Amino acid sequence: MKAHEARVLLTGASGGIGRAAAQALVKAGASVMLVGRAAARLTTQASELMGGMPGASDRVAWQVADMIDPSALAGLSDGAARWGANVVVHNAGLPSFGRLETLSAHDIQQVLNTNLLAPMLLTQALLPHLRRVPRAQVICVGSALGRLGLPGYSAYCASKFGLRGFAEALRRELGDTSIRVQYLGPRATQTAFNSPGVEAYNRATGTAMDTPQTVAVALLRLLEDEAAERFLGFPEKLAVRLNGLAPGLLDGAFDRHRNSLPDGNERPAPAL
């Protein structure tokens, strides 16, 4: 779908990748409904988009929604249908980092609810509407860690592996419809998503990081070329391929990552 044809429901719109994606989409001619938890931030963001892009005043909307609240998801689905959304970008997410024994049950549940369950339920709620429009796309913004298990990211990987599996299965389920389901797998990205512990881990392991703008460009390209899935960065793109073919062969390649994890006795701050 060409950008100028797209009316995009963008969750997690106020985050690092979300803000960059909104700017790239509007600049390319798409209409965007920004979704987040803070009305003030969404209002400011919408004003900035409309003020910085000539002719964008009638192409930017916003709606407040907590992605782990079922009633909020129902309201968001209704609002998106009335607005005429034909593209859903599942970008909202929570981080999780640390040895499994340091993660609280509440944090694990929040990560799985936000990163996996919410996109599934929102897609389910929107499917009747998406079936009625001439063409539609559902884009799941996941991670390279949706196909590559990394020490320190057990809960996060579980959520993103699940999201990729959901996208793959639903793509095949809807193969005889006009709805395209896609998965984007960024590598580590320079956003506030990264805690000081993550930053230290990335330095110790030599992990390369992309800018949010790099991810936004990839998202726009995925929208327009309608590829089933795409991963970003090297060697990450190679690693996910090898891991899919023979995951056991890569186990030893992550010794440095395991040894760079914080002490198992440390407790992380609760996820916001």
- Over residues 194-224, the pLDDT tens digits come to 899 999 989 999 999 999 999 999 999 999 9
Nearest by Cα to 15 from 40, 36, 32, 31: 36
Q: Is residue 271 in some structural domain?
A: no
Q: Is residue 264 in some structural domain?
A: no
Domain harbouring 49, CATH code: 3.40.50.720
Q: Is residue 104 in some structural domain?
A: yes
Instruction: Please work out, in degrees rounded to the nearest 5, the angle formed at the alpha carbon of residue 133 by the alpha carbons of 132 and 138.
Output: 105
Q: Could you tell me the pTM of the whole model?
A: 0.92
Instruction: Please work out, in degrees rounded to the nearest 5, the angle formed at the alpha carbon of residue 205 by the alpha carbons of 110 and 195.
Output: 35
Structurally, how many domains does the chain consist of? 1
- What is the span of the domain harbouring residue 79? 3-259
Q: Is residue 91 in some structural domain?
A: yes
Q: Is residue 266 in some structural domain?
A: no
To the query of whether residue 153 is one of the catalytic residues in this protein, the response is no
Provide the pLDDT for residue 25.
97
Q: Is residue 267 in some structural domain?
A: no
Find the catalytic residue in 153, 156, 183, 201. 156
Provide the pLDDT for residue 167.
98
Q: Is residue 192 in some structural domain?
A: yes
Q: Is residue 265 in some structural domain?
A: no
The answer for residues whose C-beta is within 8 angstroms of residue 181's C-beta and 6 or more apart is: 137, 138, 140, 167, 170, 171, 174
The answer for residues whose C-beta is within 8 angstroms of residue 131's C-beta and 6 or more apart is: 177, 178, 179
Contact 164, 183 (CB under 8 A): yes
pLDDT tens per residue across all 272 residues of the chain: 999 999 999 999 999 999 999 999 999 999 999 999 999 999 999 999 988 777 777 899 999 999 989 889 999 999 999 999 999 999 999 999 999 999 999 999 999 999 999 999 999 999 999 999 999 999 999 999 999 999 999 999 999 999 999 999 999 999 999 999 999 999 999 998 889 999 998 999 999 999 999 999 999 999 999 999 999 999 898 889 988 888 888 888 899 999 999 876 444 333 32
